[in-house]
Structure 1
Amino acid sequence: MKFKVIVDSCGELTPEMKQDERFASAALTLEVGADTIVDDETFDQADFLRKVAAYPECPKSACPSPEVYQKGFETDAEHLYAVTLSSELSGSYNSAELGKNLVLEEHPEKKIHVFNSKSASVGETLIALKIQECEETGMEFEQVVETVDAYIESQHTYFVLENLETLRKNGRLSRVKALVASALKIKPVMGSTPEGSICQLDQARGINKALVKMVDYVKEREPHSSDKVLAISHCNCPERAQMVKEALLERMQVKDVIILDTAGVSSMYANDGGIIVVI
């Protein structure tokens, strides 16, 4: 192989990526009460969502160990990359960096780079596909890194939550505010900051109005979208994802569209009914 990309499991792999040996996933683990769930091909979203709904505390995640990344980098591929969820949200980036350094101690000639996605979910997917695109055009390693870093800076992440319980459980929303918001059917429209942390952009009464507001934000912030790929991930709501896709395509042109169901960590963040859009 000329290159290999390791994506931590917050980033969903497309069916084609799962069949391509140049892509690999580094599994995070999830904790719901006494249950430990590995975020790999065995992940059962429906069972996970049931456990989260029944457990009063916030579910937790643990990043892959440096040794997981180290093992992933121990290959004959010429160029090695890792893509992790935002370093503002997880220790996965630091773990990947440690894994890289462990390999470089033994093999200083290897070319390895770890990308902090400053995003999550399908944001990581798009970055991995951008690496593939750059590699297949014949770019040198350093040029791939420079091009993908620029792409990450241009990327924007948005999401709308149907269920506010995760926000309440992790302390981002007080119980009283969560109860009032739920009673009034207020749904937050969220986004990512340039540094990769989460911020609230807006809110609306009712999920459909919140989704419309999110579409408005995407259209307003992406005036030159025709050469970009639109990625949508959903947590157990494919019809809603399709609706968002159609609403966006009515208002903007894109190069391609990817729709994926959320894996474990993304399901934890989005919760049942959540929609994530990255472009």
Structure 2
Amino acid sequence: MGKIRIYADNACDLDKDILDEYGIKLMYITVTVKGKTYRDRLDLEPSRFYEMLEEPGVMPTTAQINPAEFQAEFEKVLKESDDEIIYIAFSSGLSGTYQSACIARDMLDPNRLTVIDSKSASVGYGLTVLRAAKAVQAGMSKAEVIKEIEDNIKRIQHIFIVGNFDMLKRGGRVSATSAAIGNLLNIKLILHFVDGKIIPLEKAHGLKKAKKRMLEIMDERGYELKNQVIGINHSNDLEGALIIKELIEEKFGCSQFVISEIGASIGSHVGAGTYSVFFLTPP
């Protein structure tokens, strides 16, 4: 009997030190900027991506991982070992990557290759992946690991503030008129995930009020927050993310955090000035 290998893709926005510590393997969604294609977080660091976004006329596009890439990677593992693979995918509501992995699974060995839709993005997705990897390290069986994953998917909350309406307009999330008015009036849109899709939740006037409301929503929805690993991410503003961390520490007594910068695969759709918090609801 081989071991269990956890795979994810770079839309989980986990930093390399976490990936290495827990043996998490990544597949790579690509982003194309000014005609050149990069593997997000491998060939293109988030900091450089946001510098590129400031250049005139830059309109990044992303591409899902295709079935052939999954097949090549997974086939190598299945042939060279007795190991089993659990691949946790970026939300199928936002990308076709999950479907690509399912095609590869069906072409290879569905008994040894499990594909799970995280219904999540960025560090919300990353926390599910991290919980799975910790379960593997703890010696849990495949069925137990899958149960851990499914519980996290069911309970994980994504609450985030998007800094610039223009990126949402390009993605079809808001109209051009709403984007123009939102930017002009300094309105911050608070969004959340419902069944793996991004849904507008509330509006706030100014970033300070939006952050305050974000913590209120944590209080309303969260469960024993001080005992959880809380996820925080940001796009091009680590200082702003650390302020949110301090507010969460003061309000809820939390001490465990995963803080990460949003990579290009997600950042292509939300832009700079975005902040998110991720936490669990009651079981």
Q: Same fold (TM over 0.5)?
A: yes
Match of 2:107 in 1: 102
Residues 168 and 270, structure 2, Cα contact 8 Å, conserved in 1: no
The answer as to whether partners of 1:122 and 1:232 remain within 8 angstroms in 2 is: yes
CA contact (8 A) 2:22 2:137 kept: no
Matching residue's letter, 1:273: G
Could you list the per-position Cα deviations for residues 2-53 of structure 1 after superposition, in whole angstroms to 9, with x for gaps in the alignment?
Answer: 2222111111223333435832111111234534332142114344335445
Shift of 1:248: 1.4
| 1:184 equivalent in structure 2 | 185
Deviations, residues 50-98 of structure 1 (Å, cap 9, x unaligned): 5445566853211111222223323226231112111000011111111
Structure 2 partner of 1:153: 154
Equivalent residues of 1:69, 1:96 under 8 A apart = yes
Cα pair 1:88 1:196 within 8 Å, conserved: yes
Report what 2:229 is aligned to: 229
Q: Would the alpha carbon gap of residues 55 and 35 (structure 1) be closer, same or farther in structure 2, given more than 3 Å must change? A: farther
User: Contact (CA 8 Å) 1:219, 1:248: kept in 2 or not?
Assistant: no
Counterpart Cα distance in 1 of 2:101 and 2:138: 26
Does structure 1 residue 167 correspond to structure 2 residue 172?
no
Q: Answer with 10-19 or 142-151: which moved more.
A: 10-19
Per-residue CA shift, 1:210-242, capped at 9, x if unaligned? 111111111210033243210111111001101
Contact 2:191 / 2:201 at 8 angstroms: preserved in 1?
A: yes
Residue identity opposite 2:131 in structure 1: K
Matched, 1:272 2:272: yes
Q: Give structure 1 stretches of 5+ with no counterpart.
A: none
Aligned pairs for 1:124-139 within 5 A: 124-139=125-140
SS at match of 1:19: helix
Map of 1:3 onto structure 2: 4
1:171-190 CA-partner distances (Å, limit 9, x unpaired): 22222221111111001011
Distance change (3 Å), C-alpha of 1:11 and 1:44:
same
Q: Please, which moves more after superposition, 152-161 or 127-136? A: 127-136
Q: Which moved more, 1:31-40 or 1:199-208?
A: 31-40
The 1-side partners of 2:116 and 2:99 are apart by 10
Read off the aligned partner of 1:81 and give its amino acid letter.
Answer: I
- Equivalent residue letter for 2:266: S
Distance 2:129 2:262 in 1: 16
Partner in structure 2 of residue 41 of structure 1 = 42
Given that residues 188 and 202 in structure 1 are in contact (C-alpha distance below 8 angstroms), is that contact kept between their aligned partners in structure 2?
yes
Q: Is the 8 A contact 1:117 1:123 kept in 2?
A: no
Shift in CA distance, 55/34, structure 1 to aligned 2, threshold 3 Å:
farther
Bigger shift: residues 195-204 or 25-34 = 25-34
Residues 178 and 53 (structure 1), Cα distance of their counterparts in 2 relative to 1, 3 Å cut? farther
Distance 2:29 2:56 in 1: 20
Residue of structure 2 equivalent to 1:118 = 119
Q: Distance in 1 between matches of 2:54 and 2:170?
A: 11
Letter in 2 for 1:260: S
Q: Please identify, of 38-47 and 21-30, the stretch whose mean Cα deviation from structure 2 is larger.
A: 38-47
Q: Is the 8 A contact 1:6 1:72 kept in 2?
A: no
Q: Find the counterpart in structure 1 of residue 203 from structure 2.
A: 203
| Structure 2 residues without counterparts, runs of 5 or longer | none
3-state SS, counterpart of residue 230 of structure 1: strand
TM-score by structure 1 length?
0.89
Q: CA RMSD in A?
A: 2.2
Helix, strand or coil: the match of 2:44?
coil
Q: Deviations over 1:162-213 (max 9, x none)?
A: 11111111222222221111111001011101x1111111111111111111
Deviations 1:246-269 (A, max 9, x none): 111222244611111122212223
Q: Is 1:270–1:276's contact at 8 Å kept on the other side of the alignment?
A: no
Contact 1:113 1:145 in 2 (8 A): no
Structure 1 residues 255 and 115: CA distance shift in structure 2, 3 A = farther
In 2, Cα distance between the equivalents of 1:242 and 1:71?
40
Contact 1:4 1:77 in 2 (8 A): no
With normalisation by structure 2, the TM-score equals 0.88
Could you say which residue in structure 2 is the equivalent of 1:93? 98
